[in-house]
Structure 1
């Protein structure tokens, strides 16, 4: 994959001093430090100084002090075997500290394989020995896997005897874009990044587990028409293995293992280290979280077909967002043989109950999250009797877009967890957005004992991670998730070449004059907001900031916005439901739609989901936002809360104070122009639209393109221009029903005369196959760079046969350049509550104003 920038100088061929330093030292990295190898150390020598450099001769268990060559201790049998391997493959640095703890008989170090039991008259005490590991960059993954297999966890090193690049395979990189050397660690702090409940790059947790490349390739089920790729056959092997239950014995890594102790069978939890005599509750299933574009849907279809072949009466319940029902029907039709015995039906609509009369006749029943919730609610208050979906013990339940149940207190999650099933699978590309608790809801649904209990999850995962009570918290969590999930990166498969290009566009002289004028006014608004009434002055500043974004896309068409924004002072506006919706959308547009509860911080930005809209957030007059679970816990005292819609299409249909709410983003329609967009002259056509038209006209006739934008208004300007140039297009946005979206995609895919698909970014990144196109255009930088990536992955994925070209447009010297800068600082965007204590309303407003000021530049 290549990336080019048009309109910007090419990077210098010369390396920076840091890059030169990295190149000079790339022959050796530090992989971290091991603590916990079982040793005994002589008291007389360990108490003399803060840390004592030691060495361990080859093929020996003895430890010697380097400066005196005196014998000071011994490695235990298990530790010696580990050290033999480490010293054969790596360079090691060994030292002891002066802190000593007398070992208690019959107790066991958490990281050791056996206890040290002092004999009568033994004058030795157990002391911590530290082993720092150094090696070649190519050994990075293997070091992490070996240490994990030995139940040892690499931590941030101290007292390093050389200054080399530090890369720890057992710790999420605290600052992914910074270079850290071992000597820097003496003054470095990692607690806020490595042990916060908020994760800067959550998917790192799932990237370095067990080597999945060694999985055997399962045979393709007979009912499949499509030939499975190698990685999909391996996925089928993994899923079939997980459906057999816990790997209590045998070589497969798992959360639970059986062990014979004193002739009695016991069961040990490999994450917590705790033992029990009772077998753990049955668990079959897991998470399939392959990177977007690897064909997770086909892997699930293969699993269902394989299960049906083994058990003719087995039935799988597949739960999907309503919008994806047509997509799944297309997938089944495409991949199954015409004579397949794998029958399926859709459980939806008023007469849906008739499909459950003979469940066993169908291998697959497809339904939606909202239907599961509605059926679950119908069972409440009926003396505990189960009806409809919850009355059946399903052979298998599969959740697509499983992050839908991310919040365990919401009705979606509760109703899904109430389903009865022998096997449970969760399919998602984003198992964690920002918080570890996102993962708990999935574990609760999977019934992955004991981590499906919130108290256990908090004590063993969240609290230790956050408070750094367990220095191995990162590695333990990685071990946990990699036992239960399968995640392969996009590079697993060979896709056609992809070229990414960024094009910088200049304002016209008229546009630049207007932009400067609005920018100055925006800075004045922000400045006055610091001293104004909390909330009210901030609303003015927020609206002015959004005008800058409109100007970048819509040019002189943004004149109407400024006129509308000056019609009435904010303080005189009524706090109605529609007004609240408008302000929520304003926050959403600048990346500030996050729960104001500092213990939550959930992203409340717009998503495409079912049309019935449940569990929606609330907003106060002071723009305090709360997700629905936090309304009860934190938001009751907020000023005049109003519930808002954070789904598409918007439920609001009436205009408010000059702003239209027309089934699309409310704020997106602020730039409506009285005259038809087709009447725009060449001189008044926005510069960015001109550039897009130029690129589309120059596109070869056999190439289809997708254009992504945040606003439907962009398409209202662009669409007539395309028609005027005889470029036929179709449009996909939140105002369409699920059936309408499916029809648009089918036409785009099958009609050779349709060259362009216009898609809002919120619709284009969810569960769609856009491989009919080989060009993708991003009209404006998005606040969340993941939304861009997800949209582009719809084009560059399995099924794409052409080389792909993606183009991002950025207005030079504009607000959009600031958005790019803030994309690179995702962690700061993820935490806008300023602290981890009780929320302070003044600090919230002040922090947001600082954020807006930085955006304006």
Structure 2
């Protein structure tokens, strides 16, 4: 019998409003595993696609257990695949993810699926050592049940000749939005991996632009949305034009039609649930904006930035000045020269109750910055003006394989009050529910960078209400940043939906 086409499967998924046939009762679930109903639905959906030789994007909100759903679906496919004689043996699974979540994937496999995949290798470190380790695991797997290889995007690209010579049963791309640039070398490396089944995992399939979804779809189904040039012409261009304040009625109609068409095409292959919809027991999250007035020194430097050669240079320097004058003039190091640092010291004192007694309060906090230099500045400021508040720092200066140790220390040592992080490192895949307060000293043009950072705390396992504070320099470029964030979130919601 002929295999159903992509359009047939898409119509099936659409006509059933996202519901697919239930899994058979013969599934042997891992012992001590408790799954929520929405997770069973996600596992069933992923298996349904794989059983029809199709691929999908698991785009659940951050913190809903996407890792567990993916591993369970592979386990189900392995069980039913062997019984139906449709899956190759031994199984091989390649997981590509940011370095900071590699250990998390390995822990999940060991905790629940050791009986399914006894051979797990974290593929990193010195090139010669990592290849030898992988070869040993592959040799061992030939007489058992297969192998799970967990590696980073950077390592995948460095060893692309090796990985492209292999053939995997499943390739899982976690935080796949990191490969949203179609021309990026790492994106091209990922697209070159050979696998019978592909699963894209991301809580934010669209970040800066609609073009982001093209790269994700190209990974799971090459050519499904056409080539990149055609996609820009038919989708990206009309949608972007329709969102401009000067858009004509015709442009708005063309943009709305492009969004409707794109949503209809990708919807059957994207599963997205939000925390608000499926986690009724999750404590609330509130966001409070704290206006910060520029100091006279900041105002003087901010206005002088107009003389820079390019708009980009002006924007970048003005964002630095909003943070602290020291970032453009090393002599201006005092925290009193920065309205944000003044506000940060006051805020952190209130959060942690630093009023001179022995009790620093019940709250634990994350403070997010953009760069290691900015994170170091924040940590130094807190150490000087609030020395009783114990801090750790996690940024790009920490070697990748050591980052999970800092996360573990913060989660386990409750006498540490604050973790200072960069959004590029601390905003991906971490579970930091031992904190209940998030402070943004800076803000990204990409709203999903900030949303991901918030959700390190506001996720499954959180038992306290979460408060997010955003320090905003009044009447500055940061007003434009927040306007851009709102626009991008609205566009992503319209295309991907929930």
Q: Same fold (TM over 0.5)?
A: yes
Q: Indicate yes or no: 2:93 matched with 1:316.
A: yes
Match of 1:589 in 2: none
Aligned partner of residue 350 in structure 1, secondary structure: helix
| Aligned mates of 1:238, 1:755 — CA distance in 2 | 41
Q: Indicate yes or no: 2:348 matched with 1:693.
A: yes
Match of 1:101 in 2: none
Match of 2:48 in 1: 241
| Aligned mates of 2:431, 2:22 — CA distance in 1 | 28
Q: 2:224 aligns with which of 451, 468, 471?
A: 451
Match of 1:390 in 2: 164
| Aligned mates of 1:407, 1:717 — CA distance in 2 | 31
Q: Indicate yes or no: 2:151 matched with 1:370.
A: no
| Aligned mates of 2:215, 2:193 — CA distance in 1 | 14
Once the two structures are superposed, what CA deviation does each residue of 1:268-292 show, in whole Å capped at 9, x if it has no partner?
A: xxxxxxxxxxxxxxx3222111122
> What are the equivalent positions in structure 2 for 1:290-305 lying under 5 Å apart?
290-305=60-75
Q: Which structure carries more helix by proportion?
A: 2
Whose Rg is larger?
1
Mark the CA change 1:475 to 1:347 in structure 2 (over 3 Å): closer, same or farther.
same
| Aligned mates of 1:359, 1:213 — CA distance in 2 | 35
Gap runs ≥5 in structure 1 = 1-147, 151-205, 246-282, 379-387, 526-536, 561-668, 831-857
> What are the equivalent positions in structure 2 for 1:334-373 lying under 5 Å apart?
335-336=111-112, 342-348=118-124, 349-351=127-129, 352=131, 353-360=135-142, 361=144, 362-373=146-157
| Aligned mates of 1:482, 1:684 — CA distance in 2 | 45
| Aligned mates of 1:368, 1:149 — CA distance in 2 | 35
- RMSD over equivalenced CA pairs, Å: 4.1
**Residue pair 1:515, 1:548 contacting (<8 A) in 2 also:** no
Match of 2:414 in 1: 752
Aligned partner of residue 477 in structure 1, secondary structure: helix
Q: 2:200 aligns with which of 417, 426, 434?
A: 426
The offset of 1:809, in angstroms, is: 1.5
> What are the equivalent positions in structure 2 for 1:610-621 lying under 5 Å apart?
none
Match of 2:185 in 1: 411
Once the two structures are superposed, what CA deviation does each residue of 1:19-53 show, in whole Å capped at 9, x if it has no partner?
A: xxxxxxxxxxxxxxxxxxxxxxxxxxxxxxxxxxx
Q: Indicate yes or no: 2:309 matched with 1:538.
A: yes
The offset of 1:321, in angstroms, is: 2.9
Higher relative contact order (CA 8 A, sep 6+): 2
Match of 2:449 in 1: 787
Once the two structures are superposed, what CA deviation does each residue of 1:700-719 show, in whole Å capped at 9, x if it has no partner?
A: 63322101122444443443
Match of 1:212 in 2: 18
Match of 2:369 in 1: 709
Mark the CA change 1:749 to 1:671 in structure 2 (over 3 Å): closer, same or farther.
farther
Match of 1:485 in 2: 270
Mark the CA change 1:790 to 1:217 in structure 2 (over 3 Å): closer, same or farther.
farther
Match of 1:768 in 2: 430
The offset of 1:460, in angstroms, is: 11
| Aligned mates of 1:674, 1:758 — CA distance in 2 | 22
TM-score, with normalisation over the residues of structure 2? 0.76
Gap runs ≥5 in structure 2 = 1-9, 83-88, 240-250, 355-359, 493-498
**Residue pair 2:293, 2:339 contacting (<8 A) in 1 also:** no
The offset of 1:453, in angstroms, is: 5.6
Aligned partner of residue 316 in structure 1, secondary structure: strand
Mark the CA change 1:457 to 1:397 in structure 2 (over 3 Å): closer, same or farther.
farther
The offset of 1:802, in angstroms, is: 1.7
The offset of 1:544, in angstroms, is: 5.9
The offset of 1:749, in angstroms, is: 0.8
Q: Indicate yes or no: 2:38 matched with 1:231.
A: yes
The offset of 1:398, in angstroms, is: 1.3
**Residue pair 1:403, 1:431 contacting (<8 A) in 2 also:** yes
The offset of 1:318, in angstroms, is: 1.4
Equivalent residue pairs, number: 446
| Aligned mates of 2:30, 2:410 — CA distance in 1 | 29
Match of 2:287 in 1: 500
Mark the CA change 1:755 to 1:500 in structure 2 (over 3 Å): closer, same or farther.
same
Mark the CA change 1:504 to 1:483 in structure 2 (over 3 Å): closer, same or farther.
same
Mark the CA change 1:243 to 1:733 in structure 2 (over 3 Å): closer, same or farther.
same
| Aligned mates of 1:472, 1:814 — CA distance in 2 | 35
> What are the equivalent positions in structure 2 for 1:110-149 lying under 5 Å apart?
none
**Residue pair 1:496, 1:800 contacting (<8 A) in 2 also:** yes
Mark the CA change 1:714 to 1:244 in structure 2 (over 3 Å): closer, same or farther.
closer
The offset of 1:815, in angstroms, is: 4.6
The offset of 1:733, in angstroms, is: 1.0
